[in-house]
Amino acid sequence: MPGTARYIHQIARPAGLPRPTDFAFLEAPLPAVAPGTALVENIYLSVDPYMRQRMNEGLSELHTPIEGRSIGRVVESRAPELRPGDLVFHREGWRTHALVRPAEARVLPRYEGVPLSAFLSVLGGTGLTAYVGLTKIARLQPGERVFVSAAAGGVGSAAGQIARLLGAEQVIGSAGSAAKVKRLTERLGYHDAFDYHDGPVGELLRRAAPEGIDVYFDNVGGDHLAGAIDVLRDHGRIAWCGGVSQYNEAAPTHRPANLFEVVHKSLRLEGFLVSDHRHVQAELENFLVPYLRSGELVADETVATGFDRVAEAFIGLLQGENLGKMIVQVGEV
Ligand code: NDP
């Protein structure tokens, strides 16, 4: 098949926020389709904060492809499990075309009324992270009060909506701008929200939840974690999902000064990786798809268009330019 494939390598270690010059856009002839493989033309690529962590020394090799979640269409196949036209999910990352084996690709179901991109947002690893954090780690109960940080991002926009669907009494979100705060309450079903730039997180949270909170879904770490520990009620739970406030720091300071409150209040703080919970995917889809169809759940996404914009979208994500899940569209749906 004639044509070229484009792909992106990390070529330098970022110091702080990554720069466009940390990446190289490369081109090669389309790979030959060997027996047992299929060629996928990508449609959507995911850019995620964890990629920033992996760019540090010792966690990735320079001048190699960047791993990541992608959705594409099979255009040629020598594997009976993958047929031309199939829409598949795979992890071959930032490239226009990928050669995949059936074991490395999931043929996606089509749910009427649900956009394909949702398999990278609420029905993808992002939504699964939110669902697992709330149901398996925090074990949220109806009637409880929940705080979610980075609430207007991919995981956060899913977590807030899912917490409400699970019957939370109050869902509070924090985000980095007044426009995001407005969006949380007007579009994403948060009961209360605040901009974390407006004061110490603990004080802003206490104002929103004078009676305290039962669950903290932590995407941010640092001052957010410390503030939530202050406001959690006895026997509260923290699902520690991420620490995006620290990823660009040369010397991350994850440890909150009030950590011993975990003992005084009999709190449970549990970290988790979504990769240990892939088996929950079917449960996630069974739970969320009816709400997506009815409109009670929004697949909140920012979609940048064009392969040339992948690195830019990734850098923008780390600066909070996204509303919901940041996705790059690189091909026709
Ligand atoms: P987001 O869509 O939430 O994007 C990152 C957001 O972080 C930005 O939009 C920005 O929003 C916010 N942010 C950036 N810097 C800061 C800061 N200094 N303080 C507070 N907020 C900041 O990304 P994801 O939804 O993909 O990921 C959210 C979190 O979940 C990350 O920590 C990620 O690592 C984690 N994660 C963990 C997984 C797991 O398996 N444990 C799996 C997937 C994600 P704002 O404008 O509000 O500042």
Per-domain residue ranges of the chain: 4-120+300-329, 125-275
CA distance from start to end of the chain: 21
Average pLDDT taken over every residue of the chain: 96
Does residue 86 register a pLDDT over 90? yes
Q: What proportion of the chain, given as a percentage, has pLDDT over 90? A: 94
Check residue 252 and give its pLDDT.
Answer: 82
Instruction: Give residue for tokens 């690189």.
Output: 330
* 295/59 Cα distance (integer angstroms): 40
Check: CB of residue 84 under 8 Å from CB of residue 27.
Answer: no
Nearest CA to ligand 1 atom 8: 320
Check residue 2 and give its pLDDT.
Answer: 56
If one looks up domain 4-120+300-329 in CATH, what number appears?
3.90.180.10
* 301/291 Cα distance (integer angstroms): 16
Residue 72 Cα to ligand 1 midpoint, Å, equals 25
Check residue 312 and give its pLDDT.
Answer: 98
> Residues 102-121: pLDDT tens digits?
999 999 999 999 999 999 99
Does residue 287 register a pLDDT over 90? yes
Nearest CA to ligand 1 atom 48: 176
Tokens of 155: 């995981």
Cβ of residue 320 lying under 6 Å from some atom of ligand 1: yes
Residue 54 Cα to ligand 1 midpoint, Å, equals 15
Under DSSP, the state recorded for 109 is: P
Q: The whole model's pTM is what?
A: 0.96
> Residues 145-187: pLDDT tens digits?
999 999 999 999 999 999 999 999 999 999 999 999 999 999 9
Does residue 250 register a pLDDT over 90? no
Check: CB of residue 124 under 8 Å from CB of residue 46.
Answer: yes
| Residue range 250-257: mean pLDDT, rounded | 84
Check residue 45 and give its pLDDT.
Answer: 98
Ligand 1 atom closest to 196 (CA): 20
Check residue 58 and give its pLDDT.
Answer: 86
Check residue 239 and give its pLDDT.
Answer: 98
Ligand 1 atom closest to 322 (CA): 9
In angstroms, how far is CA 158 from the centroid of its own chain?
9
Q: What proportion of the chain, given as a percentage, has pLDDT over 70? A: 99
Ligand 1 atom closest to 275 (CA): 40
Hey, which of 129, 147, 194, 219 would you mutate to test ligand 1's pocket, going by the most ligand atoms within 8 Å of its Cβ? Answer: 219
Does residue 1 register a pLDDT over 70? no
Hey, which of 128, 148, 155 would you mutate to test ligand 1's pocket, going by the most ligand atoms within 8 Å of its Cβ? Answer: 155
Task: Point out the least confidently predicted range of 192-196, 243-247, 310-314.
Answer: 243-247
If one looks up domain 125-275 in CATH, what number appears?
3.40.50.720
Residue 127 Cα to ligand 1 midpoint, Å, equals 13
Does residue 129 register a pLDDT over 70? yes
> Residues 289-310: pLDDT tens digits?
999 999 999 999 999 999 999 9
| 325-329 and 38-46 beta bridge pairing | antiparallel
Tokens of 80: 């009976």
Cβ of residue 50 lying under 6 Å from some atom of ligand 1: yes
Check residue 181 and give its pLDDT.
Answer: 98
> Residues 52-79: pLDDT tens digits?
999 998 889 999 988 899 999 999 999 9
> Residues 212-239: pLDDT tens digits?
999 999 999 999 999 999 999 999 999 9
Residue 184 Cα to ligand 1 midpoint, Å, equals 15
